[in-house]
Structure 1
Amino acid sequence: MNSEHETAAASSDDLNLKSCCANVYQSDLARLLLGESFHPGGTVLTEQLGSLLRLGPDKQVLDVAAGQGTSAIHLAQRFGCHVRGIEYSALAVERATEAARAAGVDKLVTFEQGDAEHLPVPAASYDALICECAFCTFPNKSIAAAEFLRVLKPGGQVGLSDLTRNVAAVPADLQGLLAWIACIADAQPLESYVRYLTQAGLTIQMLEPHDEALAEMVKAIQGKLLGVELLVKLNKLQLPGEIDFAQAKAMAKSAAAAIQAHQFGYAVIIALKP
């Protein structure tokens, strides 16, 4: 049995991990490398997810780990649904709220700070829940999956997309890059995501691979790294701290090779609350 000291230490570690991921996503470098959508496939894959969930004007949608709000705003624009975004970073909530206002969808989309493991919403209140490239970052995935089940109405669906890992552990030469681009050092095999969801009480309806989306994202990052390096060298861009561009480019090359070797991939999961 864990002691109170061990439990407190684990809780502290979890909070540190959540804060680390939130800070990575808000960094200038992450925004330069990832653009508006901080996940493989961008809004194209988000729209596919919305279609699979059969979203429409009558649907109430919860976006867990909503980030800068790009997906929530796009879903509201495309499907006319009401979306509530929950995001751990207060700064991201501010930016997402401003973006919704600028896009003219602030009557359909709202954002608030919250934790995926303790969602600040009533039980059985949403028709659909999306979580894109974030479930792998949650320290306690079992609790997060149970929260997904709790907040959905009976018959409601989860649309989850995430990075999958097909090797025993993340190779050491990739851990730095993965922490940069998506905080995905705890990426799981697809069957592990399925297990978390089914053990929570959800029924898997569909599994769909999208490895090409991850490959395209890493390829885009490789190109953007070259551009950012050039701007820094020309003193046209200043970033906080020093960036080892040679190491970053080597990591990106290793990541591309790992994806081509099917060590990493990306997948969409649709699950139902009975």
Structure 2
Amino acid sequence: MDADQKPEIGFEAAEIKACCATVYQSDVARFLLGTSFHPGGTQLTEYLGSLLHLGAQHQVLDIASGQGQSAITLAQRFGCHVLGIEYSADAVQQATEAARKSGLDHLVTFQEGDAEALPLADNGFDAVICECAFCTFPDKATAAAEFFRVLKPGGQLGLSDLTRVGAIPPELQGLLAWIACIADAQPLDAYTRYLTQAGLTVDLVEAHDEALQAMVQEIRGKLLGAELLVRLNKLTLPPSLDLEQARTLARAASTAIELRQFGYAILLAHKL
């Protein structure tokens, strides 16, 4: 598939976005994923910030910012101003409260918005980051064009996401697989094409497969505990999440990672 083609995803784009937002704000997602909903956690976020050479003078946009952990980490580590854009209004509220509690609300703010139609002016940011979310955007070409649009000339993009080699196995397709960032993971060269066709110049591609393997193993270890807590009414499942399906998906994902069908990578690009 060319990078300018929309995938045949089998679900409405709005359904995917709404389901992802609902699941990621659930108690069970926080139980399984912790505070950073991506492989490598805050350590990989800080590494990405160092690759971008962030500093106190920079205006940074965190796209699909979730509950705000990455934005807060970047502000805390580098002193930069960070705006987080997130599809879920509930997540924006939770992230805003987290920034206030961290004492960094003078540096970090959050706003509701869609990555495919950012509610922001052109040429406004020194850096854009997007961690483990680009693969969930139904219209990736439009999202990449939005990254380009809001960057200042000379600004940089830091993208981290799941990668794949070959076709996605049938057991790793479906709505739950979209929510888990698997169903539309792209080959590395496809990510590069999306960015370059949007006008960006790719400077670095770096594999971090070990971060994905560690995250999947941790989730598999927590799923049994999550099921017990659900039975004790201490965790509430969102309607689109079934723990039996999640266990099956996690097993299949772990096998695919061991077979090197899936990995995780960082890409850096800049706007001329």
Give the TM-score, by structure 1 length: 0.90
> 1:231 maps to what in 2?
229
Tell me, in whole angstroms, the C-alpha distance in 1 between the residues paired with 2:235 and 2:38. Answer: 25
**Which digits, 9 at most, give the CA deviation of each residue in 1:163-188, with x for residues without a partner?**
011121x22223366345x3431111
Q: What is the match of residue 266 of structure 1?
A: 264
CA 1:236/1:146 → structure 2, altered by over 3 Å: closer, same or farther? closer
* Alignment correspondent of 1:140: 139
1:50, 1:241 → 2: CA distance? 33
1:253 corresponds in structure 2 to 251
Q: CA deviation digits over 1:106-126, x for unaligned, max 9?
A: 000000001111111111111
- The alpha-carbon distance between structure 1 residues 154 and 27, as it changes in their structure 2 partners (threshold 3 A), is same
Q: Percent sequence identity over matched residues?
A: 64
| Distance (Å, rounded) in 1 between the aligned partners of 2:54 and 2:182 | 28
Match of 1:122 in 2: 121
Please give the alpha-carbon distance, in whole angstroms, between the structure 2 residues aligned to 1:26 and 1:239.
11
**How far has the Cα of 1:15 moved from its partner?**
1.8
Q: Tell me, yes or no, if structure 1 residue 71 matches structure 2 residue 70.
A: yes
Aligned pair in 2 of structure 1 residues 20, 247: CA closer, same or farther (>3 Å)? Answer: closer
3-state SS in 1 of match to 2:128? strand
Bigger Rg over Cα: 1
**Contact 2:178/2:184, CA 8 A, preserved across alignment:** no
> CA deviation digits over 1:150-202, x for unaligned, max 9?
1111110000000011121x22223366345x343111111101000001110
User: Is the CA contact 1:127–1:155 (under 8 Å) kept in the aligned structure 2?
Assistant: yes
Over aligned residues, Cα RMSD in angstroms?
Answer: 1.9
1:62-90 superposed Cα distances (whole Å, 9 cap, x missing partner): 00110100000000000000000000100
1:4 alignment counterpart: none
Could you tell me how far apart the structure 2 residues matched to 1:179 and 1:29 are? 17
Match of 2:5 in 1: none
Q: Under a length normalisation based on structure 2, what TM-score does the superposition of the two structures give? A: 0.90
SS at match of 1:54: coil
Q: Could you tell me how far apart the structure 2 residues matched to 1:120 and 1:232 are?
A: 38
The verdict on how the C-alpha distance between 1:13 and 1:254 changes in structure 2, with shifts beyond 3 A counting, is closer
Equivalent pair of 1:69/1:85 in contact (CA under 8 Å)? yes
Q: How does 1:194-205 map to 2 (within 5 A)?
A: 194-205=192-203
What is the 5 A alignment of 1:140-159? 140-159=139-158
Unaligned runs of 5+ in 1: 1-9
Partner Cα distance (2:133, 2:242) in 1: 26
Q: Which amino acid aligns with 2:270?
A: L
Mapped contact 2:23–2:238 kept (Cα < 8 A): no
Contact 1:204–1:269 under 8 Å retained in 2: yes
Tell me, yes or no, if the aligned pair for 2:223 and 2:247 is still in contact at 8 Å. yes
Measured in 1, the distance between the counterparts of 2:189 and 2:246 equals 30
Partner residue in 1 for 2:185:
187
- Distance in 1 of aligned mates of 2:267 and 2:227: 36
Matched, 1:111 2:110: yes
User: Take 2:32 and 2:25, find their aligned partners in 1: how far apart are those partners?
Assistant: 12
Relative to its length, the structure with more helix (as a share) is: 1
Alignment size in residue pairs: 261
1-side partners of 2:242 and 2:195: how far apart?
Answer: 39
In the alignment, structure 2 segments of 5+ residues that lack a partner are: 1-8
CA distance in 1, matches of 2:58, 2:18: 31
User: What CA distance in whole angstroms lies between the structure 1 residues aligned with 2:199 and 2:181?
Assistant: 27
- Over 3 Å counting, the alpha-carbon distance change for 1:236 and 1:20 in structure 2 is closer
Letter in 2 for 1:269: L
Q: 1:66 touches 1:86 (CA, 8 Å); kept in 2?
A: yes
